[in-house]
Structure 1
Amino acid sequence: MRILAIAAAVLALTVASAQAQMGGGRRHANEGGAKADSKPKVDEKAYKAALERIPESKEKYDPWSGARPSEPAKKPK
Structure 2
Amino acid sequence: MKTFTVAAVMLALIAAPAHAQMGGGGGKRHQGGDDKKTDQKKPEVDEKAYKAALERIPEPKEKYDPWGVARPAEPAKKSK
TM range (shorter): 0.3 to 0.5
Structure with greater helix share of residues: 1
Q: Which has the higher contact order (CA 8 A, sep 6+)?
A: 2
TM-score (norm 1): 0.47
Q: Structure 2 length as normaliser, TM-score?
A: 0.46
